[in-house]
Amino acid sequence: MNRKYNFAVILSGCGVYDGAEIHEAVLTLLAIDKAGSNYQCYAPDIKQHHVLNHYTGKEIMESRIVLEESARIARGKIKPLNEFNESLHDGIIFPGGFGVAKNLSSFAFEGANCEINKEVEQAVLKMVKAQKPIGALCIAPAVISKILKGAEVTIGKDEDTIKAIQGMGGIHQERGHGEICIDRKYKLVTTPCYMLDATISQIEEGATNVVQAMLSLMK
Amino acid sequence: MNRKYNFAVILSGCGVYDGAEIHEAVLTLLAIDKAGSNYQCYAPDIKQHHVLNHYTGKEIMESRIVLEESARIARGKIKPLNEFNESLHDGIIFPGGFGVAKNLSSFAFEGANCEINKEVEQAVLKMVKAQKPIGALCIAPAVISKILKGAEVTIGKDEDTIKAIQGMGGIHQERGHGEICIDRKYKLVTTPCYMLDATISQIEEGATNVVQAMLSLMK
């Protein structure tokens, strides 16, 4: 009988411009479920960097909490990231969205000089130590390349982001829609998703390919 | 060459407890795109009934706008529902979530005696007049049955909701995960989704079956 693998999915809010990219997050959960595996969502219990009106693009003078907004995507079934325990999971995945670059790190503002949320950094380092695979979509690979020195990742083709990755000591590999990049030393699987001008079907393809490659690395 | 069909997707916020159910909304968009069709999202430019913290389930004393929150799911590509024009669309779909019962109607509070948002009612009636199909997921079929007298719908098996549908003159048909109910006089296609204790893969199945049935009714 096949065992069920357990994925941790790390969210960064709810909405592409100030939180987790919703399509990438949902289609990651779908890919895990369709592969016959389980997922548990986590998010840090911190304030969002800011709140953007996604209709106008303008800032709203409000304060929202990353854990509470991420809970919308998780239908309430989410844990604070400080409860993350690597022994309970076979893999960890970061969907994209500006939340990864604004809430989980300061990458959106400081590029290669960014700081990383300590709970995020610890979760990634614990998985590497346990030799368990890490997945990252969209902009998330750039943030992971700050944590894992010399990591080989893809974020697609965006030149400024590629320079920032190289500035953090990362190695960038160009990839197209749905394609993945695998760094075998870190067991790190990445894909561009909406870093390219993608359709929602292409996001599903990317998320599915990341999950499948992670499952191969688990076996 | 196959023509591309154009779907209108009506959102009611962003989050199962006070807005559109995110998985149902995203997987509706995915099903439309995978069928080779186009989608345009709409939402009414009105205040949400209330805002719930999806981590604790408790109310937050804030005010949010249905159009702005729905724009998170649509990645900003959304129009106010008062711009809906039935001549531009071949079908209209309502994903579920409490937003349908709290923001698009008062069904969550008044059951069979509920009022319906006038823009929602007009959009549905215009599509019926144009003999174009309507899709509804989860709790949305109950709200549609208030607009379309004698409609045959499914919301799964929930007894209280079934009684309310019957109280509005609707006819309820029990359906399981992913299964659909088709009312041919109204060209109305419905499925239970998270009105049953479903997995995310079962939501994808329900959304896909609704979209496919609507496409058959368009031809």
- Please list every residue in chain A whose beta carbon sits closer than 8 Å to the beta carbon of residue B34: 201, 204
Is A71 in Cβ contact with B54 (below 8 Å)? yes
> Is the ipTM here above 0.90?
yes
Q: What is the pTM of this model?
A: 0.98
Length of chain B: 219
Per-residue pLDDT at B3: 76
Model pLDDT for residues A118-138, shown as the tens digit of each residue: 999 999 999 999 999 999 999
Per-residue pLDDT at A199: 98
Parallel, antiparallel or unpaired: strands A51-52 and A59-60 = antiparallel
Nearest CA in chain B to A33: B201
- Please list every residue in chain A whose beta carbon sits closer than 8 Å to the beta carbon of residue B195: none
pLDDT-derived band of residue B133, with 50, 70 and 90 as boundaries?
very high
Per-residue pLDDT at A69: 98
Average pLDDT over residues A94-108: 98
pLDDT-derived band of residue A3, with 50, 70 and 90 as boundaries?
confident
Per-residue pLDDT at B106: 98
- Please list every residue in chain A whose beta carbon sits closer than 8 Å to the beta carbon of residue B19: 72
CB atoms within 10 A of CB A174: 12
Q: Is residue B81 helix, strand or coil?
A: helix
Q: Which of B54, B78, B82 to mutate to test the interface with A (most CBs of A within 10 A)?
A: B54
Burial status of residue B203 (CB atoms within 10 A of its CB: 0-12, 13-18, 19 or more): buried
The DSSP string of B126-185 is HHHHTT--EEEETTHHHHHHHHSTT-EE---S-HHHHHHHHHTT-EE----TT--EEETT
**Average pLDDT of every residue of chain A:** 97
Tokens of B1: 């060459």
Average pLDDT over residues A97-117: 98
Q: Which of A30, A54, A78 sits opposite B72 (nearest CB)?
A: A54
Per-residue pLDDT at B2: 65
Q: Is residue A210 helix, strand or coil?
A: helix
Per-residue pLDDT at B219: 87
The DSSP string of A113-176 is G--B-HHHHHHHHHHHHTT--EEEETTHHHHHHHHSTT-EE---S-HHHHHHHHHTT-EE----
- Please list every residue in chain B whose beta carbon sits closer than 8 Å to the beta carbon of residue A72: 14-16, 19, 22, 54
CB of A33 closer than 8 Å to CB of A39: yes
Average pLDDT over residues A63-69: 98
The catalytic residue among A14, A41, A114, A138 is: A138
pLDDT-derived band of residue A219, with 50, 70 and 90 as boundaries?
confident
* pLDDT at position B1 over 60: no
Model pLDDT for residues B134-153, shown as the tens digit of each residue: 999 999 999 999 999 999 99
pLDDT-derived band of residue A2, with 50, 70 and 90 as boundaries?
low
* pLDDT at position A1 over 70: no
Q: What percentage of chain A carries pLDDT values higher than 90? A: 98
Task: Give the residue numbers of B marked as catalytic.
Answer: 138
Is B72 in Cβ contact with A22 (below 8 Å)? yes
Per-residue pLDDT at B214: 98
Q: Which residues touch B51 (CB under 8 Å, ≥6 apart)?
A: B18, B59, B60, B61, B62, B63, B64
Per-residue pLDDT at A63: 97
Please list the helix, strand and coil fractions of chain B in percent, rounded to the nearest 5, in that order.
40, 20, 40
* pLDDT at position B120 over 60: yes
Average pLDDT over residues B96-106: 98
Average pLDDT over residues B131-136: 98
Q: Which of A14, A54, A200 sits opposite B30 (nearest CB)?
A: A200
Model pLDDT for residues B69-87, shown as the tens digit of each residue: 999 999 999 999 999 999 9
Stated as kind and residue range, the H or E segment containing A91 is strand A91-94
Q: Is residue B190 helix, strand or coil?
A: strand
